[in-house]
Amino acid sequence: MVILISDAFDDQLNETLKAFGEVTTDKSRQSEAEIILIRSKTKVTREYIDASPNLRMVIRGGVGLDNVDQVYASEKGIIVKNTAEASTTAVAELAFALMIALPNHIARADLSMKEGKWLKKELKRTELFGKTLGILGLGRIGLGMALRARAFFMNVVGWNPHIQGSEFVELCPTLENMLNRSDYVSIHLPLQESTKGIINKETLKSFKHGAYLINTGRGGCIVEDDVVEALKSGQLAGYATDVWNTDPPENSPLINAPNCIFTPHIGASTKENMGRIGKIVERLIGNYINEMQEKPVS
Ligand code: NAD
Distance 142 CA to ligand 1 centre (A): 7
Same CATH topology for 2-86+271-294 and 88-262: the answer is yes
| Topology (CATH) of 88-262 | Rossmann fold (3.40.50)
pLDDT in tens, 240-294: 999 999 999 999 999 999 999 999 999 999 999 999 999 999 999 999 999 988 8
pTM of the model: 0.93
Ligand 1 pocket member 216 (CB < 6 A): yes
Q: How far away, in angstroms, is 218 Cα from ligand 1 center?
A: 9
CA 207 / ligand 1 centre spacing (Å):
21
* Atom 19 of ligand 1, nearest CA residue: 160
Query: Domain extents for the chain?
Result: 2-86+271-294, 88-262
Q: 49-90 pLDDT, tens per residue? A: 999 999 999 999 999 899 999 999 999 999 999 999 999 999
- Given the candidates 3.40.50.720, 3.90.1150.10, 3.40.309.10, 3.40.50.300, the CATH classification of the domain at 2-86+271-294 is 3.40.50.720
Contacts of 253-258 with CB under 8 Å at 24 or more apart are: 253/224, 253/225, 253/228, 254/224, 254/227, 254/228, 257/227, 257/228, 257/231, 257/232, 258/231, 258/232
